[in-house]
Amino acid sequence: MNKIICWRLPILLSVLILAAPSYANGLAVSPLKLSLKPNQQMTSLTVTNTGSKTLLVQGKVMTWVNSADLSGSEKASAMTLTPPIFKLAPKAKQLVRVGWQSQTLPPPSEQAYRVVLQEVPAPLAMAEGLKVTLAISLPLFAEPNNPAINRIDWEYQSDEQPQQILLKNRGNRHHRYTHVRITDAQQQPILEAPQLLYVLPGQHHGFSLPSMPLAFPLQIETTSDLGKQIQVLSAPPT
């Protein structure tokens, strides 16, 4: 079973983890990705306290409008999370339910949200100025009742500094990438990106390339929820 586990860090800033690998001694959440089928009202996740102290955890659902981060997000009025705040004793588990605020028809297009679970610092820590908070952000996708269109375009941008390869999602569903590798015509590596990456419908992600002449055609190898794929990018017109 996949889990996301986070730990306390002795810093004065909030820590936000967007679906990262597993860690120890903190909060563990499973599954790492949530979805609502077209006629599904609610889904759920399990939160576990893997540490040695009781935690107070607060949850909320945010809109997700930017693939790269949570900029432009706001509280999702159409969604509910139950319970919105709870205590977790050491090694205890809590079932959290997430879904539509009221009975609703399937959305006309895929809707993307982030489920944010945040540790509430103890009053003593706040009084002493030690504000250590931990937040976990998980993706939630509400699926529409129409066929999936998977269309990904790759474009070379030479007028950008640095030069870039753009991954454009022209379909109607999100795509989740775990690895991107770009090589040139001589099979020399240009870019290796093994990070977790989501690209929402209608959005794009830019991969910055070294400031050097490129030997086209480029080969782009990806691992995503569509499996392993290879794309060939020809030289741009002169």
Say if CB 90 and CB 53 are below 8 A apart: yes
**What is the DSSP annotation of 168-219?**
EE-SSS-EEEEEEEEE-TT--EEEEE-S-EEE-TT-EEEEE--SS---SSEE
Per-residue confidence (pLDDT) for residue 215, from 0 to 100: 95
Which residues in the chain are classed under CATH 2.60.40.10? 4-142, 152-233
Across the range 24-46, mean pLDDT stands at: 89
Under 8 Å CB-to-CB from 80, ≥6 apart: which residues?
61, 98, 99, 100, 101
Per-residue confidence (pLDDT) for residue 116, from 0 to 100: 94
Across the range 23-46, mean pLDDT stands at: 87
Residue 4 has pLDDT above 80, yes or no: no
**In angstroms, rounded to a whole number, what is the distance separating the alpha carbons of residues 182 and 190?**
6
Per-residue confidence (pLDDT) for residue 237, from 0 to 100: 81
Taking only the tens place, the pLDDT of each residue in 178-216 is 999 999 999 999 999 988 999 999 999 999 999 889 999
Across the range 127-148, mean pLDDT stands at: 80
The mean of the pLDDT values for the chain is: 85
Residue 232 has pLDDT above 90, yes or no: yes
Across the range 132-142, mean pLDDT stands at: 86
Residue 217 has pLDDT above 50, yes or no: yes
Q: What percent of the chain shows pLDDT beyond 70?
A: 84
Per-residue confidence (pLDDT) for residue 75, from 0 to 100: 94
Per-residue confidence (pLDDT) for residue 128, from 0 to 100: 53
Across the range 75-99, mean pLDDT stands at: 96
Per-residue confidence (pLDDT) for residue 129, from 0 to 100: 55
Domain 152-233 sits in CATH 1.10.1200.10: no
DSSP state of 102: S
Confidence of residue 11 (pLDDT cuts 50, 70, 90): very low
Considering the domain delimited by 4-142, tell me its CATH architecture: Sandwich (2.60)
**In angstroms, rounded to a whole number, what is the distance separating the alpha carbons of residues 46 and 30?**
5
Confidence of residue 85 (pLDDT cuts 50, 70, 90): very high
Across the range 114-127, mean pLDDT stands at: 77
